[in-house]
Every structure is written in structure tokens, then in C-alpha cells.
Amino acid sequence: MVANVGLVPDCRHGLGGPSSFQRKLHGELSKRGLKPCYDLEQGELDVLMVINATRHLPYLWRAKSRGVPIIQRLGAPFLSSTHLDISWALRMRAWLGMRNIVHIRAHIADRIVYQSRFVKECWDRLHGETNKPSRVIYNGVDLSRFSPNGPRYVSKAEVCIISVEGTQRGPDDHPALALAQSLRNRGVDIELLLFGRPFGNTGILWKEYPFVQLRGVVPNDDLPFFYRGSTLYLLTDIVNAGCPNSVIEALACGAPVLGYALSVLPEMLDPSAGRCVPAVGDPWKGVAPGNLDVLLSAALEMVADNLSFRAGARRLAETRYGLTHMVDRYVDFFSQ
């Protein structure tokens, strides 16, 4: 019987997907009478889960030598800094971090959780298959907090598109801007809401577009208000997303999702909840995905039948992405 669950690293106070996941997991484990532990040298652990990696490898080896099962939770095996203009030092730091994740997967972890089938396929292709027990467990969302019910943002425009990313890059080749401009060319009154930390000085560049609001980073509790008021959600993290929380949150609030049929999105959606458009360009080679005519047609379809898509989005979230369902699967995997 699992009682004490070690979680490393302690990222509860950070931003982004791993931090959000750890906060939610901590709360749900506590509700079930389990004890999340972050000081690995204190007390007895029944299982230890590493979220991607930790610098404190000796902690892991000591726990492993005591017979504590080690589970590694993995996202997509791509450097999140690939598309950013950053210094050599920061890029090297990101590369070393990825090598640490690879080392733990190959030599320390006893079992592995992948955030999606796409994530597992990428790891197996890039770093080799393992014979370790593994499971795909999608991220989950609190279906009562992220819900279609409640106060909502009221846009002054006919159509409101929302995009939520950890980092929002500049307007150049931004899929959301390309779509918004295509809609405007069709005479659609459009507002584009962008959430996320602007990279570098890109916030200044967005001011050239009066129909775009770059809102920056807002508390997660504030996002349902905007999801509910949006016509659709556009996934702009085309390459790196392993199982983006923003997609699940949007679905739970009844916002249908649009994006490209790349990476994880086709696996996450069904036709009642959104659309995935084939890409023409290859983002892995620095070429914008393009195919704007088809993306535009999909967006117009979702606008025209918005109520049906909204109902499908919520239904999909309830079926597949509830937080309770996610934690049930983790607890079961802990106990194996």
C-alpha cells in the first residue's frame, strides 16, 4: 500500500506545465490520505516520482539502493529553447538538462509515465525503446473550476480567439496572427487574446496590431474567465507540446480547439471538439506550417457552429481529462 510519495524536483511555486501538474497532484494525493514528500532524506518513501529530471542524482541513487521504486514522468524530448534567440550559455544549459533527463530514463528510472502516445513515440525514436514498464497518462484538469459555468470575458469583437503559452514570441510567423489577419481579410471582426510571458522585447512589436491584446502572465485561476468568453482556442506551440494544459483547460471551459495536425493535438481532440489542419511547412526545419486557407476554413466552420463545438469540447474534457481520473491512474501505477 502506497502512503508516502516522493516528488522531485519541488517546482510547486514555479510557472508552466510541470509546476501546475505538481500542484494539482499534491492536492489530490493529500485528499486521498497520501503524503507527498519533497525532502528525500527524511522518512520512508513508498515510491519516488521524478518530473522530467533533478540535479540531485545522488538522492535518486540512494533511494534506488533502498529499494524505492522510481517513476519518471516525461514530456516531449525536445529543447523548448530551440525556436528562441538566446545566448550560447542558456542553450548549453538547456542541452545539459535534456541529457540529464535522458540519463535518468536510461539508467535510474524503474517505470516511466509518458504524457501522451506522441511523447512516448518521440522518446523511443530519438533515444531508443526501453523494456521498462510504462504508461501513458494524460494531464487532467479540475472540471469544477474549469467549467463553462461562471463569469466570462465579453469581447467587443464578433470573434475572439485565445492563445495561452508559457512564452509568447513575436508577430513574425505567429500562427495566431496569420489566422486573425486572414479572418479580418474576410470581413470578420476579430479580437486575439495572447497570454504568456513575451519573449524579449516582442511585447512592443505586438502594439502594431490594435486587434491583439498581449495580456502577459495571469494567475491560472483567472484563465477560465477568458476561456469561457472566447470563440475558440488556437494551439500555437506546434512542436514542443507533449500534452498542453491549456488545451485541456480550454476544452473544459467549453472553448473548442483549433491547431495543426502535428505533434500531440490529433491525439487529444475528436471531431466534435475542434479541428486539426494538415501543415504544409515543416516547423522542425524552421518553416511556418502555413496552409492558411484550410486553417481559415476550419476556423469559420467552428465559428458558424460554435454552440455544437462548445458542447463537444466540454464532453471530451469530462470523458478524458478530469483531474480525478488522472490521479486515479497515477495512484494505480504507483502501487504496481
Check residue 305 and give its pLDDT.
96
pLDDT at 37 over 90: no
290-309: average pLDDT: 93
pLDDT tens-place string over residues 88-130? 666 666 666 678 788 889 899 999 999 999 999 999 998 999 9
Check residue 237 and give its pLDDT.
77
What phi, psi does 310 have (nearest 5°)? -65, -40
At 162, list the grid cell.
485565445
Check residue 76 and give its pLDDT.
82
pLDDT at 250 over 80: yes
More confident residue, 218 or 317: 317
CA-to-CA distance for 82 and 84, rounded, in angstroms? 6
Instruction: Report the number of secondary-structure helices (H) and strands (E) in the chain.
Output: 12, 12
CA-to-CA distance for 196 and 16, rounded, in angstroms? 10
Ordered structural domains, the chain, with CATH: 4-140+322-334 (3.40.50.2000), 159-320 (3.40.50.2000)
> Residue 327: which of 25, 4, 36, 21 has the closest Cα?
25
Check residue 248 and give its pLDDT.
96
Residue 114, beta-bridge partner list: 74, 136
Are 112 and 132 in contact by the 8 Å Cβ rule? The answer is yes
Read out DSSP for 80-141?
Answer: TTTTS---HHHHHHHHHHHHHHHHHHHHT-SEEEESSHHHHHHHHHHH----S-EEE----B
Which span out of 232-241, 280-289, 318-327 was modeled with the highest average pLDDT? 318-327
Residue 258, beta-bridge partner list: 234, 275
pTM over 0.75: yes
